[in-house]
């Protein structure tokens, strides 16, 4: 297990893209900007009105994992930033956190201590033997790889999974998702209205907090968030390229983006209630919303141990 900076060697040579991604997370993404809040959480909706929905979406992952085992691999673990993430490995003896960012792993170690084993590595070239894990999760990570390496990453996650066990990969279809495309203009329109409303409120109350200006800049950024490299394949790509993976299924993790939530979900307009309706709908049509919504869970279940893939 590698944690000493001097000993850090990525198992495979890094492409420029991976180096940029690593530098981003080491210097920006996993910097704390508040009590246990990372810069990366800027891409999440942390408002109380959305909390229950986000919490329930996080817990969806546990339904698709075995509840116990020796080793759970968390590929691209980050710092294990949300409390729900701890649930995924609660029945496992060890959570093996692998990440390209050493800062992520240091933060993860602060969080889970001796329950964790920490490895600096690349999800497309896992430094583990096959069948090593009783469960695998990889959340919001594969889309950081260059397009041509993403298939290899899925194959690697599948290779290290042992028979009878399950893997959950949370991915994003980005602009390929129908719901993302049809809501883009309405979201922009809603943000314009919100900015107008904030300006009017500021005028009304000359003592109002300047934070509202920050808020509108923040919401504007959500429409075109900046950050580091991502590439998102579409649903057809997954079905075509991963067809050999046993037990492949695509179901919804969360159908709407953070921008959507910030634009349309507000306490005054019964936002919590609308999110209950959305969650209920996702539960009833997981495959459809996994396909047309923004964030799918790509699931595998390895039935039998097969010769090297």
Ligand X SMILES: C[S@@+](CC[C@H](N)C(=O)[O-])C[C@H]1O[C@@H](n2cnc3c(N)ncnc32)[C@H](O)[C@@H]1O
Smallest gap, in angstroms, from Cβ of residue 266 to ligand X? 25
Out of 108, 145, 180, 251, which residue is the one contacting ligand X (CB under 6 A)? 145
Instruction: Decide: residue 168, CB within 10 A, 0-12 exposed, 13-18 middle, 19+ buried.
Output: buried
Q: Which CB sits closer to ligand X, 106 or 195?
A: 106
CB of residue 284 to ligand X, shortest distance in Å: 26
Among 54, 58, 72, 81, binds ligand X (CB under 6 A): 81
Closest CA to 223 of 252, 263, 269, 176: 263
Tell me which stretch binds ligand X (CB under 6 A): 71-79, 198-206, 217-225, 238-246: 71-79
Q: How many residues bind ligand X (CB under 6 A)?
A: 19
Task: Give the gyration radius of the chain's Cα atoms.
Answer: 20
Q: Are 278 and 255 in contact (CB under 8 A)?
A: yes
Name residue, tokens 């050999």.
Answer: 244
The nearest distance, CB 241 to ligand X, in angstroms, is: 18
One symbol per residue from 103 to 142: x for binding ligand X (CB under 6 A), - otherwise; what is it? -x-----------------xxx--------------xxx-
Window 211-240: residues binding ligand X (CB under 6 A)? none
- Residue 144 interacts with ligand X (CB under 6 A)? yes
Contact 133, 160 (CB under 8 A): yes
Residue recorded with tokens 């500021």: 202
Q: Which is closer to ligand X, CB of 57 or CB of 190?
A: 57
Closest CA to 305 of 170, 138, 133: 133
Backbone angles phi and psi of 257, in degrees to 5 = -85, 170
Nearer to ligand X (CB atom), residue 18 or residue 109: 18
Please provide residue 68's backbone torsions phi and psi, each rounded to the nearest 5 degrees.
Answer: -150, 165
Tell whether residue 156 is a contact of ligand X (CB under 6 A): no
95 versus 302: smaller Cβ distance to ligand X: 95
Closest CA to 144 of 103, 174, 177: 174
β-strand partners of 122: 125
258 binds ligand X (CB under 6 A): no
- Binding residues for ligand X restricted to 1-40, rule: CB under 6 A: 18, 21, 25
Residues 176-195 touching ligand X, rule: CB under 6 A, are none
Query: Which residue, 125 or 202, is less far from ligand X as judged by CB?
Result: 125
Instruction: Considering only the stretches 59-67, 93-101, 196-204, 269-277, report the one whose residues sit in contact with ligand X under the rule CB under 6 A.
Output: 93-101
Please choose, from the candidates 94, 164, 84, the residue with its C-alpha nearest in 3D space to the C-alpha of residue 128: 94
Under the binding rule (CB under 6 A), the answer on residue 95 touching ligand X is: no
Q: Give me the least distance between CB of 247 and ligand X, in Å please.
A: 22
49 binding ligand X? (CB under 6 A): no
- Mind giving me the DSSP string for 66-89? -S-EEEEEEET-TT--STTHHHHT
Instruction: Kindly tell me the sign of the dihedral angle through the C-alpha atoms of 153, 155, 157, 159.
Output: negative
- Helix count (H) and strand count (E) of the chain? 11, 9
Residues near ligand X (CB under 6 A): 18, 21, 25, 76-78, 81, 99-101, 104, 122-124, 139-141, 144-145
């Amino acid at each position: 297990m590698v944690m000493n900076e001097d000993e850090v060697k990525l198992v495979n040579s890094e492409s420029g893209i991976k180096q940029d991604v690593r530098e981003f997370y080491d210097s920006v993404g996993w910097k704390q900007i508040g009590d246990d809040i990372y810069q990366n959480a800027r891409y999440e909706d942390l408002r109380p009105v959305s909390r229950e929905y986000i919490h329930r979406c996080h817990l969806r992952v546990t339904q698709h994992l075995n509840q116990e085992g020796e080793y759970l691999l968390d590929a691209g673990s980050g710092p294990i930033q949300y409390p729900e993430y701890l649930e995924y490995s609660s029945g496992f003896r060890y959570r093996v956190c692998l990440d390209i960012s050493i800062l992520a792993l240091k933060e993860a170690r602060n969080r889970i201590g001796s329950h964790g084993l920490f490895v600096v590595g690349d999800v497309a070239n896992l430094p583990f033997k096959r069948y090593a894990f009783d469960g695998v999760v990889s959340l919001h990570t594969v889309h950081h790889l260059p397009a041509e390496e993403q298939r290899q990453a899925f194959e690697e996650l599948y290779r290290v999974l042992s028979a009878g066990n399950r893997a959950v990969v949370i991915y994003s279809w980005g602009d390929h998702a129908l719901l993302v495309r049809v809501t883009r203009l309405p979201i922009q329109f809603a943000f314009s209205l919100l900015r107008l409303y904030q300006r009017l409120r500021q005028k009304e109350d000359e003592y109002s907090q300047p934070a509202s200006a920050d808020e509108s800049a923040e919401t504007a950024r959500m429409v075109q968030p900046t950050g580091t490299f991502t590439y998102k394949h579409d649903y057809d790509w997954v079905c075509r390229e991963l067809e050999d993976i046993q037990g492949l299924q695509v179901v919804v993790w969360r159908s709407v983006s953070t921008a959507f939530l910030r634009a349309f979900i507000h306490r005054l307009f019964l936002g919590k209630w609308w999110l209950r309706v959305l969650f209920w709908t996702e539960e009833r049509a997981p495959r459809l919303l996994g396909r047309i919504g923004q964030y799918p869970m790509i699931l595998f279940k390895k039935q039998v141990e097969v010769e090297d893939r």
